[in-house]
Structure formats: C-alpha cells, structure tokens
Chain A
Amino acid sequence: MKYSLLLNNQRVEVEAPGDISLLKLLREYLHLTGTKEGCDVGECGACSVLLDGKLVNSCMVLAAQAADREVITIEGVCLPDGSPNDLQQAFIRYGAVQCGFCTPGMILAGEALLADNPQPTRTEIREAIAGNLCRCTGYQQIVDAIEQTSLSRKEKKGHA
C-alpha cells in the first residue's frame, strides 16, 4: 500500500506492504536507521518515536496507524543545520551515551517529557524513561543530561 506521513516535518510518501510495523517502515522502506530494534515486543524502547508528539514504541504501531500523522524520529531532533540540539549536546557532555543503542529512544523520551513537563524532578525523569532500557549506563548520567537540559531551557526562557 501507499503510505503518506508527515515525517520529521516533511511530507513523505512510500510504497510498502500493508501489515508491517512503523519501525519496519522507517528502517527498511524509508532508510531512517536511527530508530533501533531491540526486542520487537514493546519492552525495550529502542524503537521509540514521537507520534503526534506522543512517545510510542514504533515496533508496536502498525505502519498504517501512522498514516497522515506526524512522526518525529531521532533524525528529526537535531537543529536545521544538522548539529545536535541542546538535549543531544547534554547527552554528550554528561556521559549519557555508551554503546549508544538506546540513545535515540532515550533522547525522544527526554524530548517527550520536557514538552509535557518542562521542569521535571529527577524522579519524574526516571519515570519518564522507565520504558526505555539501557544496559550500559545505569541511567544516572541520562537523568543528569535531561535534568540539565530542563534547567538550561528554563534559564533561556527566563532570559527571553
């Protein structure tokens, strides 16, 4: 079937089978491989994307369910010139990245949280990323990165 979606702020159309997951559509038909597959059963969050601004596991969403909706993947998070945004920079600065396989999903989980709750507590951050497994970091530096981004965004807003 023909899919049409608003992907990373661009309208895209693609031909693909009707019964595949959004994850497969992104990776294999749209060649956006930043979204990862870790379990394919909705348990690890490596495949997290934003669907109409909401964090979802794309392995559990049928591609057809995303039709005509807005999808943001890790490839759509950076600044227009391709450089990392503030949250991505904070992931680098605070050591939130080790093997990096969970990182795209974690960053989207962080963005979803900060959109919803711009000044979360550390516990709220931990709750927000509880669906995203990371085997490398022990999560602490990921929490640091999200917390610091929320503080710097607040400061920026205060100055604006």
Chain B
Amino acid sequence: MPEYRFIGKPADRVDALEKVLGSAMYIADYFVPGMLLARTIRSTLPHARIKRIDLSAALKIPGVVAAITSEDFVNHGRFGYPVEDMFMLAYERARYVGDGIVSIAAETESALQQAVDAAVIELEELPAVFDMTHALDPSSALIGEQPADAEGYPRGNLLNQYAVRKGDPAHELSTCAVTLEAEYSTMHQEHAYLEPEGALAIPESDGSLTVYASCQSPFLNRANLVKVLGLPEGRVRVIQPVVGGAFGGKDDLMYQISAQVARLAQLTGRPVKMILPREESMIASYKRDAMQMHIQLGADASGRLRASRIHALVDSGAYSSITPFTAWRSSIHAMGPYRYDACHVDTDVVYTNNGYSGAFRGFGNAEVCFAIESAMDELALKLGIDPIDLRLQNCLLPCDITAHGQKLGDDVGLAECLDEVRRLSGWQHKHPLYTSEASKAPIPGELRRGIGVAALFHGISLGAEGADFAAGTLEVNPDYSLTLTSGLTDYGTGSRTTFTLIAAETLGLDPNRFVMPRPDTNSAQDSGPTVASRATVLGGNATRVTAEQLSQLLNQAAADLFACRPAEIIRHGELFIGPGEEPASFEKVVDHARKIGLALSSRGRWSAPEISWSMQKGQGKPYFAYHYGAQVAEVLVDTGTGKVDVTGFWAVHNTGKVIFPQGAYGQLFGGIAQGLGYALMERVDFDQGYLQATNFDEYLIPTSMDIPDIQGEFVEKPFSAGPYGAKNLGETGLVPAAPAIVNAIANATGRRIRSLPANLERVLLGRDLRKEGSSTACKLGLK
C-alpha cells in the first residue's frame, strides 16, 4: 500500500475547536435584531378533514404579526421527493398527529402562545389506518391521494412495490434438508439528534431571502423554497449553520419549517425564527420505518444455503418522504450477504396514519438485517452448525454473483471480517460455553451470559435509486490558504475533515492551509442529497478530482517558472522541484501563477460508476459496490427481571482505506450505540396514531452506562473506485448491532425474540404486557 502523508494519519476534526469552546453557532444561537418568533399549530387528530380555519382572533392579539396556511404557498406548498405528496402546511387533510396546519409569527413567546390558543382550526375526524397489515384492505380508509386502481404508483394505500428475482425458491425450498420459516418485526425509531429542528429566514432589502436551516441538504431545501415561494433560484440562499446531529432525520420536516419561516419573513419583512421544542420535534418529525418480514430459508444438511423467500411490509406512515428509496434498499439487502441458488424478495410499502417514515442511518438495511441475521442464527441452531461457520460457509466472496445477478469486485472482505471478529471476541471459547450453560434450566434470578454475531453488506451511496454525483470547488486565496467547498454537508459526521485530508494529500499541501466554509447554496456546488453514506466516496472523489485539477494548474505554473515541462516537476512536501534548479515554495509558485495570469481555482465533479436495476425482472446491478462487516455482542441477562447488559462488543468492518481514523471510529462507535438502543430500548409506540413518548424522560436512548467499551477494527482492502481506496462507513456501524445483540440474548436464554426492541418484558416473558395507550402526551406536547 502506498505511504500517505495525511490520509490514515491522526488528524483533528476541522470543526472541533469551536465546538469545545462553545462558540460554534447552531441555529438556536442566532439572534438578529427585529427577529420574530414562530410556531406551528399541528393536528391533534391522526386523520382529519380541515373544515375551517379562522385566524382573525389570533391576529388581533397584541404582538402577533402574521399567520399562514397552505393557501399562502404556490400550489399549496406541494413538495416531496420521490413522490410529491406533502405540503408545507397541510392542505385539505391532516394525515398524522403532528401534521402542521397553521404557522404564526409574533414578537414574543407569550403572544405566540396566546395566538396558538386563539386560532380556530375545525377538524372533522376521518377514519384512519394504524395497522400496516390492513392498509391494503379494500375496506380500509384511503390515506394516499390516488384511487386503488390508479395507473402506476402510488395506488390507493400502496405506495410502491419492489421485487428481487432469482430462480424458483419455492421449488428449491421443497427439496431442502433443513428449512426455516419465521416472522420478524421492527418498530419505528426516533433519530433523537440532540439538537431539535430550527430555521431562521432573513428578508434582504432586494426582496431576496436568506434561510439558515439545520438541515441535511441545503440545495434540496432551496429547490423546495423556490418552488413554493415562487421566487427565482437566485433570490433564495440557504446556509447551513452547525448542525447538531441528523442521522438522516433533517430533511422533509426541515423543508417545511424553512418554508414556513421564509413565507412569514416575506410577509412581515422581518427575520423570523422557529425552533422546535423537543416534544414537538418528536411528534412532528419522521422516523425510521416499521417493518414486518416473513422469511423462509432452506439449506442442505451440510449447511449450504440454497434458497430464500422473503416478503416484507413497510409502514411509510402518512407520507412518502424518502421511504420508497429506503424500502428499495430493504429489498436489495433483505437476503443478507449470502449466496443462494434461488431468492425472491417482495416488498410492499404502504400508507398509514402512524406519523410518517423517512431516512434514518441504515436507510432500510437495519430493519432487514435484523430479520435475516436472526433467521441465519435460527437456521444455524437447526443445522447444529456454529453461527459464524454457517455465515463463513455461505458469505459473498470476491467475484461472486449476488442474488441480484451482480458480479462483485475484488474488494469484498466479509470472510476476513467474520474471521477477525471471531478471534477478537474470543468466540471459539465463549460460544460453546454459553450454549451449554443455556441448556440447563435457569434458577430464577440467575444471570446468564450469551454471545451473538451478525454480518452485513451495505450498498454504497444512492444506488439505482437516483442520479449519483458530487461536485466541489477549490481556490487559492490571497493569503495562500485554500478554500474548499462541497455540496455534501457535514452534520457531525466529520466529512469536512475527510475532504480536507483528501485535498491536502492530493495537492501535497498542509491540511491547515485549507478552509471549508459552511455549506451555502451561494458558494458551494449542488451535489444532491447528503444521505445514504454518500459523503466519503462521492464527496471524496469529487474533492480528489477538484484537487487534481488544481494540482495540474500549480504544476503548469511551476513549469513556467522553471522553464521546463509540467511532467518534469517533482513534489517534495510542499516544495516544487524542477530539473536542476532551486526548489520553489508553494507561495512562490502561486506568486508566479498570478504573474502569468493563471487563475488558481478549480471545479470538479465525480459521477458514480454505471448501475442499473430492472424493476420488472428484479435483477441488475443495484449498487456499484458494497461495504461489508461483522459484529459480535456479548450480553449478561438477568433471568429474574429480563434486564440485558451488553458487556462486550467487537466490530470488524471492510471499509477500504480509512482516511480519517478518529472519525471512522467515531462513526463506528456512534452507529453501534444507536443500534444498541434499537435493539434494547428505543420504542416509538404509536397508539391509534398517537406517539406515547415525546421526550427523553420516556423515549430512552443509550447513556454512557448502557454501552461497553467497543473494540473496532477495519479491513482496509482497497476499493478501486473509492478516493484513495476508501469506502463509506457512516451508516454501517448501526446496521448489524441489533441482530448481534438479540442473537446473544437468544444464546443466553434459549429464547428467540423476533420483534424489536428486546425490552424487559419480551426478554422475560417472550411477549408484550399490553398497556393502554393514550393521546395525552401528544396533546400536551402540541399545546
């Protein structure tokens, strides 16, 4: 492997200093003169017709300046991608508890509160759908906008359908020596970014608008604003302040909030800010989708996997958001990283009135990984084969052909991950020991140990879902610093540091020379949405291409200075060396470029390699490459209370070259922590459409006491299409964590939990204690 100067070496995050000092500016920290505060009145019914809105009394309250509804936007503020089914404020119907209906701007919080109380919104309750398994029943209420016999999708409550097709699994299954058939389910998950959503719109004197928004994709935000405000693109500028975490969760709701403050700012001619309280954030924001998965697996007696047949149902809730893409990703990953003679996957995505679902780290893969990795363990038990051996026997290897018909490259490193995680975790000794302990009847209250494994593959970037490219710019400043921009934003993931290191390595310049301004639609290049772990490969390659272009310009200038050909220039550190001359410093080369009128700036763009997917055939090349990984969890289960302690955790991921190790470990540990929450405690419960937990006192996320020290390792098999051989790793830590933990619980107790989360009662009793739900928390939270 080549020796790099900056890549893979210790480095500090470029934005850490302002964050430790407390001077980093998040959206709530902006206070501008004359600023109004805004709030949104939201539906307290899961499905309702909006009969009448009367804001006259609210507007008479001293200090209340303006109020808006869907009527105040072009085309009622309709937006949404890939399906345009949302509004900036609900139009005609509210489809979930928390759907925004009216936004108000006022001078003070107390005036705002009085206005909220005085506003008249008459809702007529409509029949609703809460059980995804009945969403497609002909008798169910229609939540979508199109009739059930519409051409194309969505059709009735069916938002979309996806399939993967290889061979005839029904036939194969009938001839398999060992088969497994089981049903798994996952629930919604809240992103729980520590910073709630917020936006600030500032009207400029020329009629244009500047919007500061704590969002993931400033360019998508601007595109939506342009559409619903009827302004030309050049008149809307979106700036992303420091974002306090997103994990996929700061898109659609953030676009609504941005449009609301923008419209209020336009109407009042004053800056307008809205920050959501935690309760409102939890009620109004989208979640990870809930899924139900029916899995059939079949294998030879020797453990060779032969067939899988999977049917999955996805609850998209009231709107589409990006769920068609996450559900497609679910379909592609549902069979896990294994070889099969035959495989069918069918996925139905449906509308309900359970809030709504959208992007969340893992992007559809966390759900199906839980199901298939649980099923693999159940199958291993039936076969009497060690769970890691079974995975090794069947896992995808370099140059294999996947169930989708895709021939893989030489970057596949799953077997290495499984071998290494087995060694690190002490599996060989622990697994047989804990298995034999579990075979004895428990003494009530006894503590039982267990160990579990899970593997994953995860398609890099958007895949056949969308056009995939990123762009960047680089410019040498008068003071010899360099400004680097990327349209892919950093909301805490460290991608700005990754890009800086790539630019520094490519140009042979010190990373400290580079500045990366905050993403701003006026200065950065549009690079599409910052989702689906796109940053490292897409943004990294765009940065590399941009830096290579600038490097050529610099070599050209140096060649002119030395009167030689650019190809003769040799680089040493920051020095440029020509044939037989004194080396020239970077500064000297820059000065010379200026003298000869050579502009030192570059613009680069990188498009992902060709991919293709046939929706009809259920075959193709869905992603240009995959990340692979394997994790092992060790647990201690209290058989008296059902309490599970995760006491050890090992993770080995095939990341390609690691560019920013500190950031890579941070992504890994942070992802695992969220996966641990998903496994054991995080439960978004919709009861009749009402969220049961609306703040951190009831929605529990892991604390420092819930997570053990994690041992992580990377298999750095270089990936030829990645920048310096790197793959993405932003999402993947989370994905296998839950099944590894639940498999460990099964190993400890001998009891299989097929529904997440594995909370106390499920571990102890194997079922839920039915609690009466209530609408109180939501109603209080929206008051």
Binding site for B on A (CB under 8 A): 27-28, 31-41, 43-44, 46, 73-75, 77-78, 82, 84, 88-89, 91-95, 97-104, 107, 122, 125-127, 129-143
Contact = CB atoms under 8 A, between A and B. Distances in A.
A141 B494 CA distance: 14
A101 B245 contact: yes
B211 interface: no
A31 B194 contact: no
Mostly, the B contact residues are loop
A141 B666 contact: yes
B669 A141 contact: yes
A39 B22 contact: no
Contacts of A77: 22
Contacts of B665: 95, 140-141
B16 A143 contact: no
A91 B20 contact: yes
B208 to A, nearest CB: 27
A42 B625 CA distance: 44
Contact of B707 (A27, A135, A138): A138
Given A40-B278, A137-B669, A74 B21 contact: yes
B666 A126 contact: no
Interface in B665-709: 665-666, 668-674, 695-697, 701, 703-705, 707, 709
A135 B492 CA distance: 11
A45 to B, nearest CB: 9
B21 A84 contact: yes
11 contacts: A27-B29, A35-B22, A38-B696, A74-B22, A93-B12, A95-B662, A97-B13, A99-B245, A135-B247, A136-B492, A139-B669
A136 B704 contact: no
A126 B494 contact: no
B194 A138 contact: no
Contacts of B18: 100
Interface in B231-263: 242-247
A100 B242 contact: yes
Contact of A41 (B12, B21, B494, B697): B697
Nearest to B492: A99
A88 B20 contact: yes
Contact of A135 (B25, B193, B663): B193
A33 B697 CA distance: 24
Contacts, number: 174
B28 A37 contact: yes
Nearest to A94: B662
B669 A99 contact: no
B705 A75 contact: no
Given A99-B492, A133-B703, A135-B674, A43 B243 contact: no
B750 interface: no
A130 B705 contact: yes
A103 B247 CA distance: 18
Q: Which interface residue of A88, A98, A102, A127 has the most chain B CB atoms within 10 A?
A: A98
B9 to A, nearest CB: 13
Contact of B494 (A43, A44, A98): A98
A98 B493 contact: yes
Those 4 A-B pairs whose CB atoms lie nearest each other, nearest first: A34-B22, A99-B492, A100-B19, A101-B244
Given A78-B21, A135-B245, A135-B247, A101 B666 contact: no
Nearest to A87: B20
Contacts of A132: 704
B214 to A, nearest CB: 10
Given A93-B12, A133-B194, A137-B673, 14 more contacts: A33-B22, A33-B25, A36-B28, A37-B28, A38-B194, A84-B21, A99-B194, A99-B243, A101-B245, A103-B19, A107-B20, A126-B704, A135-B192, A136-B670
Nearest to A89: B20
A44 B22 contact: no
A63 to B, nearest CB: 15
A92 B15 CA distance: 9
A142 B243 CA distance: 19
A139 to B, nearest CB: 4
B615 interface: no
Interface residues of B, number: 56
A130 B93 CA distance: 43
A33 B19 CA distance: 12
Nearest to B668: A138
Interface string B466-509: 00000000000000000000000001111000000000000000
Interface of B: 12-13, 15-26, 28-29, 31, 191-196, 242-247, 277-278, 491-494, 662-663, 665-666, 668-674, 695-697, 701, 703-705, 707, 709-710
B31 A31 contact: yes
Given A39-B696, A98-B494, A100-B15, A135 B194 contact: yes
Given A95-B665, A102-B194, A138-B673, A84 B707 contact: no
B650 to A, nearest CB: 13
A97 B194 contact: no
A126 B672 CA distance: 17
Given A38-B278, A75-B22, A98 B673 contact: no
A127 B705 contact: yes
B460 to A, nearest CB: 21
B699 to A, nearest CB: 9
Contact of A101 (B16, B20, B195): B195
Contacts of B29: 27, 33
B666 A39 contact: no
Contacts of A73: 22
A73 B703 CA distance: 22
A31 B29 CA distance: 9
Nearest to B243: A99
B431 to A, nearest CB: 25
B106 to A, nearest CB: 16
B195 A38 contact: yes
A135 B669 contact: no
A40 B24 CA distance: 20
Q: Which interface residue of A94, A97, A130 has the most chain B CB atoms within 10 A?
A: A97
Contacts of B672: 138
A137 B696 contact: no
A122 B277 CA distance: 34
A135 B12 CA distance: 20
Contacts of A137: 666, 669-670, 673
A17 to B, nearest CB: 10
A92 B695 contact: no
Nearest to A34: B22
Contacts of B24: 100
Nearest to A99: B492
Given A126-B704, A133-B701, A41 B194 contact: no
Contacts of A37: 28
B20 A103 contact: yes
A76 to B, nearest CB: 9
Contacts of A84: 17, 20-21
A44 B192 CA distance: 11
Contacts of A102: 194
Contacts of A41: 278, 695-697
Contacts of B245: 98-99, 101, 135-136
Contact of A92 (B13, B26, B193): B13
Given A36-B26, A101-B244, A141-B669, A135 B20 contact: no
A133 B192 CA distance: 10
